[in-house]
Amino acid sequence: MIKLVRIDHRLVHGQVAFSWTKFLESDCILIASDHLMKDELKMAAMRMAKPTGVKLVMKNMEDSIKALNSGVTDKYKLFILVESVADAYRLTKGVDAIRSVNIGGMKAADDRRQIAKAVFVSEEDEAMLKEMHEKGIALEVRLVPSDHKQDLMDLLK
């Protein structure tokens, strides 16, 4: 069962490893990322950062979509992490069971504007987020579980 899909450019870190995993009572974290799968050092860092007692699976996007659609992940309380809006967009297009996305950290860049604390979006991000919203996917900004949920569409105005 998918508990949460989160966009966070840092992937597994303190907030994710402890606050979110505990809040969700998650027993498995799936990192869906083509980029990560090409970086052995970063993969090693993710393994070290994962909480004790929680399974960590790292797959490229195509394999993640296949696994999620096959039912093999249904036995887990699954917390899915992606690095970017583009990855979340691709995942939601490929997996009908995903009905909401949490937006966490999205780093600043010259082509991005800030819409919330630690959330910066590009025009391309905005277009994909709007399309996801039009498909009926709920989009919330919330850095930690205790934060108030903010509707992303309100922040994009």
In order, the DSSP letters of 23-35 are: HHT-SEEEEE-TT
Q: Is residue 67 exposed (0-12), middle (13-18) or buried (19+ Cβ within 10 Å)?
A: middle
pLDDT of residue 70: 97
pLDDT, tens digit (0-9, with 9 covering 90-100), for 67-126:
999 999 999 999 999 999 999 999 999 999 999 999 999 999 999 999 999 999 999 999
The Cα 38–Cα 28 span in angstroms is 22
Q: Domain containing 89: what range? A: 2-156
What pLDDT score does 14 carry?
A: 82
User: How are beta strands 113-116 and 119-121 bridged, if at all?
Assistant: antiparallel
DSSP H helical ranges for the chain: 14, 21-24, 40-49, 61-70, 85-94, 123-134, 152-156
pTM: 0.95
Count of beta carbons in the 10 Å neighbourhood of residue 109: 10
CA–CA separation, 103 and 149 (whole Å) = 10
What's the pLDDT score for residue 18?
A: 85
Structural domain count, the chain: 1
- For position 126, which CATH number holds? 3.40.35.10
The pLDDT assigned to 15 comes to 77
CB crowding 121-139: b at 16 or more within 10 Å, else e: bbeebbebbeebbeeebeb
| Contact (CB, 8 A) for 7 and 85 | yes
The pLDDT tens digits of the residues spanning 53-77 come to 999 999 999 999 999 999 999 999 9
